[in-house]
A and B are shown apart, each in its own frame.
Chain A
Amino acid sequence: MIHYHPSIEILTDYAAGSLPLAHSLCVSTHLERCHECQQQIRKLEMLGSHLFDQTKTDSRQLSNLKDSFFEKLNAQAEQNNSLKVEEEPTAIDWDNYAIPKSLRQFIKKNYDDLNWMRLSPSFKIATLYNEEGGAQIALTRVKAGAHMPTHTHTGDEITLVLEGAFSDESGVYRQGDFINRDASHKHKPIVTKDAECICLTVLDAPIEFTGWLTRLLNPIIRRYHPHSS
Chain B
Amino acid sequence: MERAIQIEPDEQRVADMLAIAEHRDQAALVRLFDHYVPKVRAFCLAAQPGANLMADDIAQEVMIRIWNKAHTYKPESASLNTWVFTLARNARIDYLRKNSRHQSDIDPEYLWQNVVDENADPFKDAQQKRDQERIQQGLDKLPADQKQVLAKVYLEGKTHKEAAEELSLPLGTIKSRVRLALHKLTIYVKR
Contact = CB atoms under 8 A, between A and B. Distances in A.
Interface of A: 5, 8-9, 12-13, 16-22, 24-25, 28, 31-32, 35-36, 38, 40-58, 60, 62, 65-66, 69-70, 72-73, 76, 83, 101-105, 129, 131-134, 137
A35 B110 CA distance: 18
A49 B79 contact: yes
Nearest to B136: A50
B151 to A, nearest CB: 6
B90 A17 contact: yes
8 contacts: A21-B104, A42-B78, A43-B135, A45-B78, A45-B85, A65-B60, A73-B26, A83-B68
B162 to A, nearest CB: 8
Interface majority SS on B: helix, strand, loop or mixed? helix
A133 B102 contact: yes
Contacts, number: 177
Contacts of A24: 106, 108, 111-112
Interface in B92-146: 92-93, 97, 102-108, 110-113, 115, 117-119, 131-132, 135-136, 139
Contacts of A133: 102
B187 A19 contact: no
B99 to A, nearest CB: 14
A17 B38 contact: no
A60 B162 CA distance: 30
Closest 7 CB pairs of A and B: A57-B38, A49-B85, A17-B89, A49-B82, A55-B42, A21-B106, A28-B111
Given A49-B84, A51-B150, A73-B26, 12 more contacts: A8-B179, A17-B89, A17-B92, A19-B159, A46-B132, A47-B139, A48-B82, A51-B155, A52-B88, A70-B30, A131-B102, A131-B104
B37 A62 contact: yes
Interface in B23-77: 26, 29-30, 33, 37-39, 41-43, 45-46, 52, 56, 59-60, 63-64, 67-68
Contacts of B151: 51
B154 A52 contact: yes
Contacts of A45: 78, 82, 85-86
A129 B105 contact: yes
A188 B157 CA distance: 36
Interface in B161-181: 162, 175, 178-179
Contacts of A65: 37, 56, 59-60
Contacts of B64: 72-73, 76
B17 interface: no
B153 interface: yes
A15 to B, nearest CB: 8
A62 B162 CA distance: 32
A19 B132 CA distance: 24
Contacts of A72: 60, 64
B12 interface: no
A104 B113 CA distance: 12
A45 B88 CA distance: 12
Candidate in B30, B52, B86, B115 with the most chain A CB atoms within 10 angstroms: B115
B154 A28 contact: no
B92 A134 contact: no
